[in-house]
Amino acid sequence: MPHDGHHHDDHEAIEDLDDITEFEVMEQAIRELLVEKGILSASQIQAQIDDMDSRTPVMGQKIIARAWTDSAYRERLISDPKSAFAEMGVTRLDENPEVVVVENTPERHNVIVCTLCSCYPRVLLGMPPAWYKKRAYRSRVVKEPRKVLSEFGTELPDLTKIEVHDSTADMRYLVLPMRPAGTDNWSAEQLEALITRDAMIGVKVPSIV
């Protein structure tokens, strides 16, 4: 490209300094201090970020699919979730909040929210979806859960009681959805594909139609 005078490429700044929030400034300052003082190394911080980014709902899907096909495992999953997760190879359980497994039945459907922030069973499902953190979901699902669920395409029978769990404190919640009828001979992989992230939050139900 000819350098005609001082004409520069017309491109947007990659990052506008004005867009950096107070929290980002604080995070950067604390991170730099921790590294400077030798409390954490930059590579330790990066390893933790990579670990979190690498988590996806896959582990949750595998755990639920096993619970659908192995009734002894299902009982362990409900009575002693931590060891049931460890059995499936979930690591770093001790560094993460405890997870409680709540089971859907024809009588009771569970849905999870954190009205105060965005508590979520990250150790099993990875980072929460954007809508889970939005005020609209957090404030509405505790007030009009049937309407919110119907916006996700989920219509529950009137006789099914909805229980909304607000993850207010040290526990995180994972929904154990009901296995759809007509999946008796399905492979683990086929079952896992039905068990979406949203089904494990309780805003959807696994369906084969």
Partner 1 sequence: MMPRFKAGDRVLVDARDHEGHCRTPMYLRGKTGQVRKLIGIYKNPEELAYYKDAEEQPLYDVVFEWKEVWGEDSQDELAADIYEHWLQPIGE
Q: Does 168 bind partner 1 (CB under 8 A)?
A: yes
* Catalytic residue chosen out of the listed positions 41, 79, 117, 139: 117
DSSP state of 2: -
Distances 13 to 6, 17, 22, 56, 101 between C-alpha atoms, Å: 18, 9, 20, 32, 46
Active site residue 118: yes
Nearest CB to partner 1, comparing residues 115 and 118: 115
Q: Does 116 bind partner 1 (CB under 8 A)?
A: yes
Distances 52 to 19, 81, 159 between C-alpha atoms, Å: 25, 20, 39
Out of 76, 122, 133, 146, the residue judged to bind partner 1 by CB under 8 A: 146
Q: Does 103 bind partner 1 (CB under 8 A)?
A: no
- CA 42 to chain CA centroid, Å, is 26
Place of tokens 């990659």: 14
Q: Does 169 bind partner 1 (CB under 8 A)?
A: yes
Residues found near partner 1 in the complex (CB under 8 A):
115-116, 142-143, 145-146, 159, 161-171
Could you list the active site residues? 114, 117-119
